[in-house]
Structure 1
């Protein structure tokens, strides 16, 4: 099973949600494999059902699935780790404090594991208190480079910078991108990304010199009537990616 995503060779992939197995297959084809298909543990009542269903998605997208929390819900952290241990997916979303446990349970170093950090309100700092208990306490601001080092110590491979609210935290995002580039750490901008701001958000990361970027584009490209990600929009995102990554 392929554990290393295509974007390791091609710098950029998108992370989008799939509303069905056929939708996932179409997404993968439309993005020419430069994608990890998001599947949220929060949508399943137990591990067994999640694993059984996610295996079906794995089979149609060459394991390019992203096991997710669900709106960054810290209470899904341990379920994400358990499900990921069984599935060995290409990509995993974790809260900051869940990364070490998750890497240890995988017992391999290929799978991408991001650590969720939030805007702090101060350029050059991020909030790392995103776990089940820590998120209920006062925000813990640390320098971006310290947060990167902590995640690297735990076996994490990228920042999930969430919630970005589009470009509401543009200055903070630029500082995060620069730190990721300087420390050869991957970056996953998330929250409020759409067809209008996708190009600028991706360009900021590429201009900073980030080696690998996975923008998460979720609700803005989902058809509200069907719950499926619009394939035409995936094609548009891929066209923008091709334009920027030369």
Structure 2
């Protein structure tokens, strides 16, 4: 099974939700495979039902699956690791403190694992207290470069920078992108990204020279009535990627 993300020009892909198996297949085709489809563990009552569902998504999308938490919920950290072990996906969304356990549980180095860090309001720092217990304590403001080193020590591949609020934390995001580029870590901007601000958010990371960029777009491109991702929006996003990369 292929555990490697199909990056566009080896640099950019999308992380979007799949509302159904049919929707997943349409999204995958519309994005020409340059996508991982988020299936959220929080939507399932137990591991077995989640694994069963994800295996169906795997078959339709050549394993372009992202095992997700669900709105960054730290309480899903253990389930994410356990499910990822079973299905061996291309991508895993994980809280900062869950990265090392997830890598060890996977038993291989190919699956791409992000580490959730949050804005602090201070350029040069991120909050790494995103785990089940640490998220209940005081914010842990850590220098970006130290956080990058910690992620790499744990076997992670990128920052999931969430919640961004679109460009609300622009200066912080620009700094993070520069450091990720310098220290060979990927960036996954997430939270408040829309068709309107996507290009600018992508361009900031490209200009900084980040080697792997995986923007997360969820609610903004979803049909609120059906819960499915809009296929036409996926085509527009791919056009923007092709124009800029």
Report the counterpart of residue 75 of structure 2 in structure 1.
75
Counterparts of 1:140-159 in structure 2 under 5 Å?
140-159=140-159
Report the counterpart of residue 38 of structure 1 in structure 2.
38
Q: Distance in 1 between matches of 2:135 and 2:8?
A: 31
Please give the TM-score of this superposition, normalised by the length of structure 1: 0.99
Q: Distance in 2 between matches of 1:50 and 1:215?
A: 24
Q: Distance in 2 between matches of 1:32 and 1:75?
A: 33
Structure 1 runs (4+) deviating above 6 angstroms are none
Counterparts of 1:111-150 in structure 2 under 5 Å?
111-150=111-150
Report the counterpart of residue 235 of structure 1 in structure 2.
235
Q: Distance in 2 between matches of 1:176 and 1:29?
A: 32
Superposition RMSD in Å: 0.7
**CA offset digits 1:67-101 (Å, max 9, x no partner):** 00000000000000000000000000000000000
| Contiguous gaps of at least 5 residues in structure 1 | none
- Please state if 1:197 is matched with 2:194: no
Secondary structure in structure 1 of the residue aligned to 2:195: coil
Q: Distance in 2 between matches of 1:164 and 1:12?
A: 19
**How many aligned residue pairs are there?**
245
Q: Distance in 2 between matches of 1:145 and 1:61?
A: 35
Report the counterpart of residue 187 of structure 2 in structure 1.
187
Contact 2:8 2:34 in 1 (8 A): no
Cα shift at 1:10: 2.4
Report the counterpart of residue 206 of structure 2 in structure 1.
206
Report the counterpart of residue 173 of structure 1 in structure 2.
173
